[in-house]
Amino acid sequence: MKAMLQFFAAAVCAAVLAACGGGGDKTPKAPVIVQPAYKVTETAVGTGRAAAAGDLVTFTYVGYLYDSAKPDFKGGKVESSVDLGTTYTATVGVGAMLTGWDQTLLGMQPGGKRTAILPANLAYGANTRAAQTVNNIQYAEIKADSPMVYDFVMVNVIPQVTIPNVPATDLKITDVTVGTGATVANGQTISVRYTGWLYDGTRSTFKGAKFDDNTATGDAILQFVVGAQRYLGLQHRVMDE
Protein backbone atom coordinates (compact mmCIF):
# COMPACT_ATOMS: atom_id res chain seq x y z
CA MET A 1 0.00 0.00 0.00
CA LYS A 2 2.83 2.37 0.89
CA ALA A 3 4.49 1.67 -2.47
CA MET A 4 1.25 2.50 -4.30
CA LEU A 5 0.97 5.83 -2.47
CA GLN A 6 4.53 6.71 -3.42
CA PHE A 7 3.86 5.87 -7.07
CA PHE A 8 0.63 7.92 -7.05
CA ALA A 9 2.40 10.92 -5.49
CA ALA A 10 5.17 10.72 -8.09
CA ALA A 11 2.61 10.59 -10.91
CA VAL A 12 0.79 13.66 -9.54
CA CYS A 13 4.06 15.60 -9.33
CA ALA A 14 4.91 14.68 -12.91
CA ALA A 15 1.48 15.81 -14.08
CA VAL A 16 1.83 19.14 -12.27
CA LEU A 17 5.25 19.75 -13.81
CA ALA A 18 3.93 18.93 -17.28
CA ALA A 19 1.00 21.31 -16.83
CA CYS A 20 3.35 24.08 -15.78
CA GLY A 21 5.64 23.62 -18.74
CA GLY A 22 8.02 21.23 -17.08
CA GLY A 23 9.97 24.02 -15.41
CA GLY A 24 11.76 24.76 -18.72
CA ASP A 25 13.28 28.05 -19.94
CA LYS A 26 10.59 30.73 -20.06
CA THR A 27 12.87 33.49 -21.41
CA PRO A 28 10.99 35.32 -24.17
CA LYS A 29 12.61 34.77 -27.53
CA ALA A 30 13.40 37.68 -29.84
CA PRO A 31 11.07 37.82 -32.83
CA VAL A 32 12.55 36.52 -36.06
CA ILE A 33 13.06 39.36 -38.55
CA VAL A 34 11.77 38.44 -41.99
CA GLN A 35 14.51 39.24 -44.49
CA PRO A 36 13.65 40.72 -47.88
CA ALA A 37 15.36 39.51 -51.03
CA TYR A 38 18.27 41.51 -52.41
CA LYS A 39 16.95 43.90 -55.04
CA VAL A 40 18.50 46.75 -57.04
CA THR A 41 16.54 49.43 -58.88
CA GLU A 42 18.41 51.69 -61.29
CA THR A 43 16.79 55.13 -61.15
CA ALA A 44 19.30 56.90 -63.41
CA VAL A 45 21.89 55.57 -65.85
CA GLY A 46 25.25 57.31 -65.76
CA THR A 47 27.88 57.78 -68.45
CA GLY A 48 31.55 56.91 -68.70
CA ARG A 49 33.45 54.01 -67.20
CA ALA A 50 31.38 51.32 -65.47
CA ALA A 51 32.81 50.39 -62.07
CA ALA A 52 34.67 47.06 -62.13
CA ALA A 53 36.26 45.09 -59.31
CA GLY A 54 39.44 46.84 -58.19
CA ASP A 55 38.37 50.29 -59.39
CA LEU A 56 38.43 53.25 -57.01
CA VAL A 57 34.90 54.65 -56.78
CA THR A 58 33.56 57.84 -55.23
CA PHE A 59 29.86 58.00 -54.40
CA THR A 60 27.20 59.32 -52.04
CA TYR A 61 24.86 57.16 -49.99
CA VAL A 62 21.77 57.43 -47.79
CA GLY A 63 20.77 54.43 -45.67
CA TYR A 64 17.40 53.53 -44.14
CA LEU A 65 15.96 50.70 -42.11
CA TYR A 66 13.85 48.42 -44.30
CA ASP A 67 10.12 48.88 -43.67
CA SER A 68 7.80 46.57 -45.63
CA ALA A 69 4.82 48.79 -44.75
CA LYS A 70 6.22 51.77 -46.67
CA PRO A 71 5.66 52.14 -50.45
CA ASP A 72 9.39 52.75 -50.97
CA PHE A 73 10.36 50.36 -48.12
CA LYS A 74 12.32 53.16 -46.43
CA GLY A 75 11.98 53.34 -42.65
CA GLY A 76 14.08 55.42 -40.30
CA LYS A 77 17.23 56.98 -41.73
CA VAL A 78 20.40 55.51 -40.21
CA GLU A 79 23.27 57.22 -42.06
CA SER A 80 23.92 59.66 -44.90
CA SER A 81 26.95 61.13 -46.62
CA VAL A 82 24.57 63.59 -48.29
CA ASP A 83 23.57 65.06 -44.92
CA LEU A 84 27.26 65.60 -44.16
CA GLY A 85 27.93 67.14 -47.58
CA THR A 86 30.61 64.55 -48.29
CA THR A 87 31.32 61.63 -50.61
CA TYR A 88 32.76 58.21 -49.82
CA THR A 89 35.72 56.73 -51.71
CA ALA A 90 36.79 53.08 -51.63
CA THR A 91 37.94 50.22 -53.83
CA VAL A 92 34.92 48.31 -55.12
CA GLY A 93 34.56 44.56 -55.48
CA VAL A 94 37.41 43.54 -53.16
CA GLY A 95 35.61 43.30 -49.81
CA ALA A 96 36.54 46.78 -48.60
CA MET A 97 32.87 47.72 -48.11
CA LEU A 98 29.63 46.08 -47.02
CA THR A 99 28.89 43.11 -49.27
CA GLY A 100 25.65 44.71 -50.43
CA TRP A 101 27.45 47.94 -51.31
CA ASP A 102 30.01 46.03 -53.38
CA GLN A 103 27.31 44.16 -55.30
CA THR A 104 25.26 47.29 -55.95
CA LEU A 105 28.07 49.64 -56.98
CA LEU A 106 29.64 47.25 -59.51
CA GLY A 107 28.63 48.34 -62.99
CA MET A 108 27.56 51.84 -62.00
CA GLN A 109 28.77 54.80 -64.07
CA PRO A 110 29.38 58.40 -62.95
CA GLY A 111 26.04 60.16 -62.59
CA GLY A 112 24.19 56.86 -62.17
CA LYS A 113 21.73 56.29 -59.33
CA ARG A 114 20.62 53.02 -57.74
CA THR A 115 18.44 52.02 -54.82
CA ALA A 116 19.23 48.69 -53.17
CA ILE A 117 17.26 46.58 -50.71
CA LEU A 118 19.75 44.63 -48.61
CA PRO A 119 18.93 41.68 -46.36
CA ALA A 120 20.91 41.78 -43.12
CA ASN A 121 23.59 39.37 -44.34
CA LEU A 122 24.50 41.89 -47.06
CA ALA A 123 24.42 44.82 -44.63
CA TYR A 124 25.45 44.94 -40.96
CA GLY A 125 24.40 41.41 -40.01
CA ALA A 126 24.33 40.84 -36.26
CA ASN A 127 26.08 44.14 -35.53
CA THR A 128 24.17 46.87 -33.73
CA ARG A 129 24.39 50.63 -33.33
CA ALA A 130 22.51 52.91 -30.97
CA ALA A 131 20.40 55.79 -32.23
CA GLN A 132 22.52 58.89 -32.65
CA THR A 133 22.40 62.58 -33.52
CA VAL A 134 24.93 64.08 -35.93
CA ASN A 135 24.85 67.78 -36.83
CA ASN A 136 21.40 68.02 -35.24
CA ILE A 137 20.13 65.22 -37.49
CA GLN A 138 18.70 62.16 -35.74
CA TYR A 139 19.52 58.69 -37.03
CA ALA A 140 17.60 55.57 -36.01
CA GLU A 141 18.97 52.63 -34.06
CA ILE A 142 20.33 49.70 -36.04
CA LYS A 143 19.30 46.45 -34.36
CA ALA A 144 20.84 43.06 -34.99
CA ASP A 145 19.82 41.46 -38.29
CA SER A 146 18.23 44.65 -39.63
CA PRO A 147 17.58 44.69 -43.39
CA MET A 148 18.40 48.01 -45.04
CA VAL A 149 17.61 50.22 -48.02
CA TYR A 150 20.32 52.39 -49.61
CA ASP A 151 20.27 55.15 -52.22
CA PHE A 152 23.57 55.47 -54.12
CA VAL A 153 24.80 58.12 -56.57
CA MET A 154 28.06 57.37 -58.38
CA VAL A 155 30.33 60.41 -58.61
CA ASN A 156 33.57 59.09 -60.10
CA VAL A 157 35.23 55.84 -61.21
CA ILE A 158 39.02 55.54 -61.44
CA PRO A 159 40.32 52.41 -63.20
CA GLN A 160 42.34 49.92 -61.23
CA VAL A 161 46.07 50.49 -61.58
CA THR A 162 47.57 47.48 -63.34
CA ILE A 163 51.28 46.91 -62.95
CA PRO A 164 52.68 44.76 -65.79
CA ASN A 165 53.92 41.31 -64.82
CA VAL A 166 57.31 42.16 -66.33
CA PRO A 167 58.16 45.76 -65.38
CA ALA A 168 61.09 47.58 -66.93
CA THR A 169 64.48 46.34 -65.73
CA ASP A 170 66.69 48.92 -67.43
CA LEU A 171 66.85 52.61 -66.55
CA LYS A 172 65.73 54.73 -69.48
CA ILE A 173 66.19 58.50 -69.45
CA THR A 174 64.55 61.03 -71.76
CA ASP A 175 65.47 64.71 -71.70
CA VAL A 176 62.29 66.77 -71.73
CA THR A 177 64.16 70.07 -71.34
CA VAL A 178 67.94 70.50 -71.35
CA GLY A 179 69.17 72.85 -68.64
CA THR A 180 72.13 75.25 -68.56
CA GLY A 181 75.03 75.87 -66.22
CA ALA A 182 77.41 73.56 -64.41
CA THR A 183 76.93 69.81 -64.66
CA VAL A 184 76.00 68.05 -61.43
CA ALA A 185 78.91 66.12 -59.90
CA ASN A 186 79.16 63.32 -57.37
CA GLY A 187 79.17 64.60 -53.76
CA GLN A 188 77.29 67.80 -54.51
CA THR A 189 74.09 68.76 -52.70
CA ILE A 190 71.28 69.40 -55.13
CA SER A 191 67.69 70.66 -54.90
CA VAL A 192 64.99 69.16 -57.12
CA ARG A 193 61.29 69.16 -57.75
CA TYR A 194 59.83 65.87 -58.98
CA THR A 195 56.67 63.97 -59.91
CA GLY A 196 56.44 60.18 -59.54
CA TRP A 197 54.09 57.80 -61.38
CA LEU A 198 53.67 54.05 -61.16
CA TYR A 199 55.10 52.34 -64.23
CA ASP A 200 52.42 51.24 -66.70
CA GLY A 201 53.72 49.42 -69.74
CA THR A 202 50.33 49.66 -71.46
CA ARG A 203 50.61 53.43 -71.96
CA SER A 204 52.67 55.33 -74.49
CA THR A 205 54.16 57.52 -71.75
CA PHE A 206 54.53 54.53 -69.37
CA LYS A 207 52.97 56.75 -66.68
CA GLY A 208 50.30 55.10 -64.57
CA ALA A 209 48.78 56.56 -61.41
CA LYS A 210 50.70 59.43 -59.83
CA PHE A 211 51.85 58.51 -56.31
CA ASP A 212 53.92 61.53 -55.21
CA ASP A 213 55.19 64.99 -56.18
CA ASN A 214 56.52 68.21 -54.66
CA THR A 215 55.53 70.60 -57.43
CA ALA A 216 52.95 72.65 -55.53
CA THR A 217 53.94 76.14 -54.38
CA GLY A 218 53.93 75.20 -50.70
CA ASP A 219 55.79 71.89 -51.13
CA ALA A 220 59.32 71.54 -49.78
CA ILE A 221 62.08 71.19 -52.36
CA LEU A 222 63.87 67.84 -52.10
CA GLN A 223 67.58 68.16 -51.24
CA PHE A 224 70.12 65.34 -51.16
CA VAL A 225 73.80 64.60 -51.72
CA VAL A 226 74.51 62.95 -55.05
CA GLY A 227 76.14 59.54 -54.55
CA ALA A 228 74.86 59.09 -50.98
CA GLN A 229 72.93 55.90 -51.90
CA ARG A 230 69.52 57.54 -51.77
CA TYR A 231 67.14 58.36 -54.62
CA LEU A 232 69.24 56.23 -56.99
CA GLY A 233 67.00 56.74 -60.01
CA LEU A 234 67.08 60.49 -59.55
CA GLN A 235 70.86 60.47 -59.14
CA HIS A 236 71.36 58.75 -62.49
CA ARG A 237 69.46 61.59 -64.09
CA VAL A 238 70.98 64.57 -62.28
CA MET A 239 74.53 63.27 -62.78
CA ASP A 240 73.98 63.76 -66.51
CA GLU A 241 72.74 67.34 -66.15
The residue ranking higher by pLDDT, 1 or 57, is 57
Mean pLDDT of the chain: 83
39-158 has CATH 3.10.50.40 classification: yes
**Model confidence over 67-111: pLDDT tens digits?**
999 999 999 999 999 999 999 999 999 999 999 999 999 999 999
Query: What is the per-residue DSSP string for the chain?
Result: -HHHHHHHHHHHHHHHHHHTGGG---PPPPPPPPPPPPEEEEEE---SPPP-TT-EEEEEEEEEEE-TTSTT-EEEEEEEHHHHT--EEEETTSSSS-HHHHHHHTT--TT-EEEEEE-GGGTTTT--B--EEETTEEE--B-TT--EEEEEEEEEEEPPP---SS---S-----SS---SSPP-TT-EEEE--EEEEE-TTSTT-EEEEEEE--STTSPPEEEETTSSSSHHHHHHHTT-
Nearest-angstrom CA–CA distance, 131 and 77: 10
Residue 176: is its pLDDT beyond 90? no
Average pLDDT of span 42-53: 97
147 residue type, one letter: P
Q: Supply the pLDDT for residue 188.
A: 82
Residue 168: is its pLDDT beyond 70? no
Q: Which of 210, 159, 164 is nearest to 55 (CA)?
A: 159
Q: Supply the pLDDT for residue 154.
A: 98
The residue ranking higher by pLDDT, 26 or 107, is 107
Q: Where are the domains of the chain?
A: 39-158, 162-236
**Model confidence over 104-162: pLDDT tens digits?**
999 999 999 999 999 999 999 999 999 999 999 999 999 999 999 999 999 999 998 76
Read off the pLDDT band of 11 (50, 70, 90): very low
Going by DSSP bridges, is the β-strand pair 207-213/56-66 parallel, antiparallel, or unpaired?
Answer: unpaired
The residue ranking higher by pLDDT, 153 or 205, is 153
pTM for the predicted model, two decimal places: 0.59
Q: Supply the pLDDT for residue 212.
A: 83
